[in-house]
Amino acid sequence: MRRSIAAEVARRPNGDRFGLWGERGSLATMHGKERVIAPLLRRFLGLRVEIVGGLDTDRFGTFTREVPRPGSQLDAARAKIAAAFAGNPGVRVAVASEGRFGPHPIVPSAPLGVEIVLLADRDTGMEVSGQFVDLDAMWTHAVVTDIAAARAFAEGVGFPMQGVVVSGCKEQVPCPESGLFKDVLDRADLERTVGDVIARCGAACVETDMRAHRNPCRMRAIARATVTLIRNFRLRCPDWDRPGLVVTERIPGARCAHCGTPTRVIKAEASTCAGCGHRVERSVGPPATDPGRCDVCNP
Ligand SMILES: [Zn+2]
Ligand SMILES: [Zn+2]
């Protein structure tokens, strides 16, 4: 954050209809995400967020498969936003986050985590989000047939600081219907739970708990997505000062330094205002690109 808070306040006087300084917001979480989201929004946007009491965010989908997530990651975040507004009708702003984990699309042995933090303003209808892609997400599992293997897996992921979830297993695939244990707290508890599941199913699935309060790596990723949201909030549309003028397009066509042919190298980035469609294009990279990346000079 380059600009100081004082400078930010001075730059955004009372006439700023999109500013959130001094406003209250509602945060939809039951997994402690306020620990990282609230201080950042307070410090950099002046927004005070409080958690909504009695909200069951698990109904929007769980990582442990017993409740499937309806629709996309963004749909799930929007459903949480709606619940946050419903649970706290007096507030102007609601904030929610949603994570998605899976194998990396190019290197399937590596995990890929994508966190989004979404902010919605009921007064202006504005929505601004921040995303963080985590190539070191703590997302892994093991199917074990003895307690020693479960213990080794747990130690490897940093249990008990990092939580683990134990579930029943059918043909090497986790099967929550045949047992799901999310609150394994210590080693003795883990050994007892895994022992019980193996006795019943023949094998147990042990996996990293992806809930934010049980996954320190994920909590850091949510903090970084929040920082991106703050940065995006500060990118204002030149037409009407609406926040969220974010990069929406990367344009290839940088010319080869030797023969001048357009290449696939990115030459510009375009940002678009989600509110009015205003588009700003900006050149990136050097004016001419390396002939090694030119299809004519280096086919
Ligand atoms: Zn060339
Ligand atoms: Zn605009």
Q: How many angstroms separate the Cα of 207 from the Cα of each of 110, 164, 297, 299?
A: 15, 5, 50, 46
Which residue range forms the structural domain that includes residue 264?
Answer: 247-293
Query: Six-digit token pair at 228?
Result: 């991106």
Question: Nearest bound ligand to CA 239?
Answer: 2
267 alpha carbon to ligand 1 midpoint, in Å?
A: 15
Count CA atoms within 13 Å of residue 115 on its CB side.
Answer: 27
- What is the whole-number distance in angstroms between the Cα of residue 17 and the centre of ligand 2? 14
- If asked whether residues 109 and 227 sit together in one domain, one would say yes
Q: Are residues 277 and 131 in the same domain?
A: no
- The ligand that comes nearest to the alpha carbon of residue 238 is 2
Task: Measure 232 CA to ligand 2 centroid, in angstroms.
Answer: 13
**Cα(292) to centroid of ligand 1, in Å?**
8
Q: Report if residue 202 sits inside a domain.
A: yes
Overall number of domains in the chain: 3
Q: How far is the CA of 105 from the centre of ligand 2 (A)?
A: 34
Q: Does residue 78 belong to any structural domain of this protein?
A: yes
Q: Enter the pTM of the model.
A: 0.87
Asked if 221 and 112 touch (Cβ cutoff 8 Å), the reply is no
Residues 219 and 197 placed together within one structural domain of the fold = no
CA 237 to centroid of ligand 2, rounded, Å: 5
Residuewise pLDDT in 10s, the chain (299 residues): 444 444 444 445 557 899 999 999 999 888 899 999 999 999 999 999 999 877 777 888 888 878 887 789 999 999 999 999 999 999 999 999 999 999 999 998 899 999 999 999 999 999 999 999 999 999 999 999 999 999 999 999 999 999 999 999 888 788 888 889 999 999 999 999 999 999 999 999 999 999 999 999 999 999 999 999 999 999 999 999 999 999 999 999 999 999 999 999 999 999 999 899 999 999 998 889 999 999 999 98
